[in-house]
Amino acid sequence: SSGSPEASAGSSAAGDDFGLVKAGTLTVATEGTYRPFSFHDDGSGDLVGYDVEVAEAVADKLGLEIEFQETQWDAIFAGLDAGRFDVIANQVSINPEREEQYLFSAPYTVSSGVIVVNEGDTSISSFDDLAGKTTAQSLTSNWNELATESGANVEAVEGWAQAVALLQQGRVDATINDELTYLDFVNTNGPSGIEVAATTSDSSLSALAFTKDKTDLVAAIDTALDELRAEGVLAELGEKYFGADVSE
Amino acid sequence: MAEGWQLFLDSFWPLVLGGLTGTIPLALASFAIGLVLALGVALMRLSKNRVVSGIARFYISVIRGTPLLVQLFVIFYGMPSIGIVLDPWPSAIIAFSLNVGGYAAEVIRAAILSVPKGQWEAGYTIGMSHGTALRRIILPQAARVSVPPLSNTFISLVKDTSLASLILVTELFRVAEQIAAFSGEFMLIYLEAALIYWLFCLVLSAGQGRIEQRLDRYVAQ
Amino acid sequence: MAEGWQLFLDSFWPLVLGGLTGTIPLALASFAIGLVLALGVALMRLSKNRVVSGIARFYISVIRGTPLLVQLFVIFYGMPSIGIVLDPWPSAIIAFSLNVGGYAAEVIRAAILSVPKGQWEAGYTIGMSHGTALRRIILPQAARVSVPPLSNTFISLVKDTSLASLILVTELFRVAEQIAAFSGEFMLIYLEAALIYWLFCLVLSAGQGRIEQRLDRYVAQ
Amino acid sequence: MSHSDPAGERADVPGGDPLAPADIPDDSVLLTARGIRKSFGDNEVLRSIDLEVRRGEVVVLIGPSGSGKTTVLRSLNGLETPDAGTIDFEGGPSLDFAAPIAKATRFALRDRSAMVFQQHNLFPHMTVIENVIEGRVRVQRVPKKQAIAEASALLERVGLAEKRDAYPFELSGGQQQRVGIVRALALKPQLLLFDEPTSALDPELVGEVLQVIKELADEGWTMVVVTHELSFARQAADEVLFMDGGVVVERGAPAQIFTKPAEERTRRFLDRILRPLD
Amino acid sequence: MSHSDPAGERADVPGGDPLAPADIPDDSVLLTARGIRKSFGDNEVLRSIDLEVRRGEVVVLIGPSGSGKTTVLRSLNGLETPDAGTIDFEGGPSLDFAAPIAKATRFALRDRSAMVFQQHNLFPHMTVIENVIEGRVRVQRVPKKQAIAEASALLERVGLAEKRDAYPFELSGGQQQRVGIVRALALKPQLLLFDEPTSALDPELVGEVLQVIKELADEGWTMVVVTHELSFARQAADEVLFMDGGVVVERGAPAQIFTKPAEERTRRFLDRILRPLD
Ligand SMILES: Nc1ncnc2c1ncn2[C@@H]1O[C@H](COP(=O)(O)OP(=O)(O)OP(=O)(O)O)[C@@H](O)[C@H]1O
Ligand SMILES: Nc1ncnc2c1ncn2[C@@H]1O[C@H](COP(=O)(O)OP(=O)(O)OP(=O)(O)O)[C@@H](O)[C@H]1O
Ligand SMILES: [Mg+2]
Ligand SMILES: [Mg+2]
């Protein structure tokens, strides 16, 4: 649904230049099970979420159709390598290891990690306190590394929901995740007997991820992101999903 | 609990739909193709030619010796590296067919061996070739023997198709994951999914009964 | 490619170790317990008492009709809600044992039925009770028949244990996931894992052969 | 303690012929069956069978397939439970099938007799000697040493001494059937039941088995034999019963039955067997 | 076109007895087998067997179990491939087992003869009529209508007309065996091979089957019969061969073999069968 003429002009060019999986279409990989970034409206409805809408806005800017491919995180990078997607929009946070293998767009989410514990658990008030404690992390998230660095022994789980379950059942001491995830959870589920014990000092940056050969595409998308930021679109989306602008 | 119940009701139809549009067609297609494959492999396995039976043996051993998950990965994410890019559904059908081919081959082989040697000879003595005897005499009898084990293979397949979500096929379990991720009630949703899988299996078993009856018309009750 | 090869080598031992400390012990323990369970269920299933056989029937149908993944989840994440909190390993062993109990029960039942009725009567006529005849005459013969199908059950179990990673048990596949997540080389690592699963299965099949030989001493070759 | 098992003792008389029956053949009535009825579904297989067997007597049952011969034997051995009628063993047990039978009573019935099947039904996973001592050791709780001694003597006597450690599949049909007989003898029952013991054998092997059975008859064993070997019946039987359609059509001494049967049905049956081609 | 199948034509002579052989019994030599040898592993089962069968002749093979009788029949029917020797059918084919046999030749051999097994080996998933026409339609490519007409006539003739649509399991052993014979006849072979066609039957059912075989003999069919029914051999055989240990020990007219066998082994074997108890 690209309205403006210059956009559609761009698209005709785009189709051939970016070496897209499917000419004229931006093929985006996302989990579809990572609320509130990428999930299905009331479970079985349309694919929505902050990352999803950001990707849609970007495609719109480039005058490209957009097509989402939903898959587990395990498969997401394999799929990107296999040339099945053009880009991953799933809160991929930038870290050195990944930068060796992949290209990143300008970050569109800036947030900090939080340690979530059961209410009234005073034994943890900082990341240092995690030493020797047990945390539940989804292996593939970058929070996993943070927990490990903090000296916690990590129980790997499928995702946030399982992590919270373990925490509430008292089988782990804490779980580290994105502040935004936590807020969304509390907003929808109401008081769940868990609270934030500490927040990371340095915040993490999430961006769209590409294979190394997609330099042109990344350049184009960075411009698009800047425009969206300037037009306040990213801020709107932030408000919509988090009640705050999270794009910087 | 009330809203849990509500969620259960709201999710039921989407899950069933995921089953009817994803799980069942995927399972049926893969099973049909897999059976043809399996028959071929079983016959190769029974061949007197060492090389031929060796190939079948190896194929079966690899299929049965490696996790289905990996087989899916190789076909969907691995083959592109040798230039073969298939869409999710074809990839899934190929992977599951190959898998069924490996498991069902052993079932069919056992069924063929279970037909008394005298039946082959009765066929030969009325002038039949090996092929004709196989087609007209042995396979019809082997079919009866292999229905129960094959229906087990099929039921396992129905559940295994949940792995297809890994390669972008949306079926019952994928839908369950989506709802679970949204609501956080993964326990409830997974149980509901299990219930629906179970219902599917009950229907299938009933089908098995029907087939056995039809094939049983020529054996003493 | 070179560093891919390096990664392959570096990962090999950790993966094998994951198999030896996770996969194999888990599979062995669950299989042993599961077999005992299965024997009981099979006998219940064969009971003339409608209720008893009905219970067995239902148990088998549920175990076989629902995804193993869900069975694991129910025991690990679900049971706490009724106050039972088990550690990962106990949960996994219980879940897999119950699962084996369902599948192996049908195998054992078929094996018992495959022993000629005359063997029961020969037992009775020398004064044996039903129980003694079962223990001394029928089961030893049923054992022989059930080795091949049971070893299939076991091989499936070995691969299914990869699901234990979902409830915090560290085994071969979990190790693979960790390495893959860290290196991003999913394809390579999963293939390597598959290779190791396959090697395990080859060893197990060899074991099956040995057992069959021992049991075959009393049948004409 | 099992040493006090009387049957056991008696057989241990040194020098006693191992083939000799535990029961003394004194012509007194051992078994009386009256009005035995049995139906499978609505197929009435036995319609009031009466049978009396004296100690040391050899009763032969003949009759067409499906006439109920096997069912009679199975009823006597407690493998089948008749719908009506009574079975009385002198010295017990005494069963009336009008009422349900207690488990203990059925076991008592089984202990009185031992059955030899058409298909030998040896235990394929046990050696010959293991087959023979199984019931003695596991059921009658006789010490293994003693059971083995007895079994060896019996095997010796039927010419299978050197096969004692062979598995059934290693034996010829005739040898298997002889082991089957020894397995029955080993239990020292009062009554031996044979169900077509030779009809699954190659013709040239029939002799060796019939010989053994005849010897047992001569030794004074009480037995009921279902067979189509009329020559055996002629030589060994004290009484022959011809069954058809679940009733005893005719009974009498072999000489009478085979030479001048009273019943037309008997005559036709004998003809079909003795002169199949005319 | 299958209509030009000569065998087919001949049998269609209106009013011709369906049991009559396609081959004219003119006493000329039909089959000559020379020096047939066969070993399974190092078990030498046939050691140079010679056999000559004339048109219309009935040859009966007798001998103890394991002597090689079945293997001889199987060799003649091409179910077993001898290690050495020759088999010549008048009018072909002619096989020398010194060299490997071409597939076509083996099929030609099979077409000349048809075998009736000890266990009838009917196809359980086909009705009686389907069993009988299967070879005729699938192999000899005779039109189904014609095959059914012929088959019905044959079934009629052996008294199984009303069983044409029954499945094998619904028949008695004797009926099954008769269908087995009809299935062989339907192919209009030149030679019929019977391997103990009655030894799996209840004794009172033996007669009905032997009757049919005897009729075929009288009609002039050429046949080789393995049997232990000496009464049949006596009445129907032109020549009797006694086999033991893979060789033909003795051959001759039934009268001679049964009354004054030249060989000790023959005598002992006959005794065991005729007088099992002494
Ligand atoms: N367990 C059973 N269930 C149903 N019917 C049975 C059963 N056992 C025997 N019959 C039927 O009872 C009838 C008599 O069987 P039985 O075996 O006693 O006859 P028989 O005289 O021993 O025949 P044969 O000479 O063939 O052994 C047959 O019609 C048989 O089909
Ligand atoms: N396929 C085979 N493999 C190995 N040995 C065989 C095979 N077929 C037959 N034999 C052996 O060949 C010998 C002769 O067998 P065959 O069946 O011809 O004897 P037979 O005279 O028909 O005996 P019976 O009267 O028991 O049928 C036997 O010792 C048998 O064990
Ligand atoms: Mg009987
Ligand atoms: Mg034979």
Tens digit of each residue's pLDDT (9 = 90 or more) over C113-166 = 999 999 999 999 999 999 999 999 999 999 988 888 898 889 889 999 988 888
Distance CA B118, CA B115 (A): 8
**pLDDT on residue D15:** 54
Torsion of CA B83, B84, B87, B89, to 10 degrees: -160
| Cα distances (angstroms) measured from residue B128 to each of B120, C182, E269 | 9, 62, 38
> Is D124 close to C137, i.e. CB distance below 8 A?
no
Question: pLDDT class for E6, splitting at 50, 70, 90?
Answer: very low
Say what angle helices C139-160 and C186-215 make with each other, to 10 degrees. 170
**pLDDT on residue E8:** 40
Cβ E243 vs Cβ E249: under 8 Å = yes
Residue E165 host element (H or E) = none
In DSSP notation, D109-128 reads HHHHEEEE-SS----TTS-H
Query: Residue E5: what are its φ and ψ, rounded to 5°?
Result: -65, 115
Q: What is the largest CA-CA distance in chain D?
A: 62
Cβ neighbour number for residue D100 with a 10 Å cutoff: 7
**pLDDT on residue D277:** 81
Distance CA C78, CA C95 (A): 12
In DSSP notation, D183-249 reads HHHHT--SEEEEESTTTTS-HHHHHHHHHHHHHHHHHT-EEEEE-S-HHHHHHH-SEEEEEETTEEE
C79 touches chain B (CB under 8 A): no
Q: Which residue has the higher pLDDT, B75 or E129?
A: E129
Q: Which residue has the higher pLDDT, C198 or E23?
A: C198
Q: What per-residue string of b and e applies to A113-135 under the rule 16 or more CB within 10 Å gives b?
A: bbbbbbeebeebeebebbeebbb
**pLDDT on residue B220:** 62
Cβ A20 vs Cβ A26: under 8 Å = yes
For residue D219, pLDDT over 60 is answered with yes
For residue E31, pLDDT over 90 is answered with yes
Query: Cα D272 vs. chain centroid, distance in angstroms?
Result: 25
Side chain identity, residue B148: P
Please list the ranges in chain B whose pLDDT falls under 50: none
Q: In what order do the strands lie in the sheet with D43-54?
A: D43-54, D29-40, D84-89, D94-96
For E166-177, write each residue's pLDDT tens digit: 999 999 999 999
For residue E4, pLDDT over 50 is answered with no
For A173-231, write each residue's pLDDT tens digit: 999 998 888 888 888 877 788 999 999 888 889 999 999 999 999 999 999 999 999 99
Say what angle helices C139-160 and B50-65 make with each other, to 10 degrees. 60
> Is A34 close to B174, i.e. CB distance below 8 A?
no
The CA E226 to ligand 2 mean position distance, Å, reads: 13
For residue A5, pLDDT over 80 is answered with no
Question: pLDDT class for A234, splitting at 50, 70, 90?
Answer: very high
For residue A15, pLDDT over 70 is answered with no
Residue entry with tokens 């057989």: D11
Cβ C180 vs Cβ C145: under 8 Å = no
Question: pLDDT class for A140, splitting at 50, 70, 90?
Answer: low
Residue entry with tokens 């005319």: D278
User: Mean pLDDT across the stretch D47-54?
Assistant: 94
Cβ E232 vs Cβ E213: under 8 Å = yes
**pLDDT on residue B5:** 86
Distance from CA of A36 to the nearest CA of C (A): 23
For residue D278, pLDDT over 80 is answered with no
Residue E41 host element (H or E) = none
> Is A72 close to B73, i.e. CB distance below 8 A?
no
> Is residue D4 in contact with ligand 1, taking CB distance under 6 Å?
no
Distance from CA of E181 to the nearest CA of B (A): 12
**pLDDT on residue C198:** 94
Question: pLDDT class for C30, splitting at 50, 70, 90?
Answer: very high
A148 touches chain C (CB under 8 A): no
Considering chain D, what percentage of its residues have pLDDT values greater than 90? 74
- H helices present in chain E, as ranges: 6-11, 69-76, 103-112, 128-134, 144-157, 173-186, 203-219, 230-236, 254-259, 264-274
Cβ C99 vs Cβ C63: under 8 Å = yes
User: Mean pLDDT across the stretch A104-111?
Assistant: 93
Beta bridge partners of D84: D37
Distance CA D90, CA D81 (A): 20
E206 touches chain D (CB under 8 A): yes
> Is residue E172 in contact with ligand 1, taking CB distance under 6 Å?
no
**pLDDT on residue D185:** 93
Q: A225: which residues sit within 8 A by CB, 6+ positions away?
A: A58, A105, A106, A108, A234
| Cα distances (angstroms) measured from residue A244 to each of A50, A248, B57 | 12, 11, 61
Q: What angle do CA A199, A204, A208 make, to 5 degrees?
A: 150
- Taken as a whole, chain C contains a residue count of 221
Query: Cα E265 vs. chain centroid, distance in angstroms?
Result: 26
> Is B67 close to C198, i.e. CB distance below 8 A?
no
Task: Give the CA radius of gyration of chain E.
Answer: 19
Which residues on chain E are in Cβ contact (under 8 Å) with B217? 167
Question: pLDDT class for D4, splitting at 50, 70, 90?
Answer: very low
Average model confidence (pLDDT) across chain E: 89
Cβ neighbour number for residue E43 with a 10 Å cutoff: 9
**pLDDT on residue E13:** 44
For C68-107, write each residue's pLDDT tens digit: 988 998 888 888 878 888 888 999 999 999 999 999 999 9
> Is residue E45 in contact with ligand 2, taking CB distance under 6 Å?
yes
Chains C, D: CB contacts within 8 A come to 61
Tell me the residues of chain A between 5 and 44 that have a Cβ less than 8 Å away from chain B. Answer: 31-35, 39-44
**pLDDT on residue E164:** 93
pTM: 0.85
User: Mean pLDDT across the stretch E138-151?
Assistant: 94
Q: What pairing do the DSSP bridges indicate for beta strands E29-40 and A113-118?
A: unpaired
> Is residue D71 in contact with ligand 1, taking CB distance under 6 Å?
yes
Q: A207: which residues sit within 8 A by CB, 6+ positions away?
A: A92, A93, A94, A104, A105, A106, A107, A108, A109
User: Mean pLDDT across the stretch A83-107?
Assistant: 90
> Is D207 close to E64, i.e. CB distance below 8 A?
no
Beta bridge partners of A199: A114
Say what angle helices C139-160 and C24-46 make with each other, to 10 degrees. 140
Q: What per-residue string of b and e applies to E1-32 under the rule 16 or more CB within 10 Å gives b?
A: eeeebebbeebeeeeeebbbbbbebeeeebbb
Distance CA A216, CA C73 (A): 45
| ipTM here | 0.83
> Is E210 close to D277, i.e. CB distance below 8 A?
yes
Best interface-test mutation with B: which of E81, E134, E188 has the largest number of B CBs within 10 A? E134
| Cα distances (angstroms) measured from residue D27 to each of B106, D220, D221 | 62, 10, 11
**pLDDT on residue A247:** 86
Answer whether C touches D (≥3 Cβ pairs < 8 Å): yes
Considering chain A, what percentage of its residues have pLDDT values greater than 90? 43
Which of D38, D43, D77 is the pocket-test mutation for ligand 1 (most atoms within 8 Å of CB)? Answer: D43
Nearest CA to ligand 2 atom 12: E45
The CA E105 to ligand 4 mean position distance, Å, reads: 25
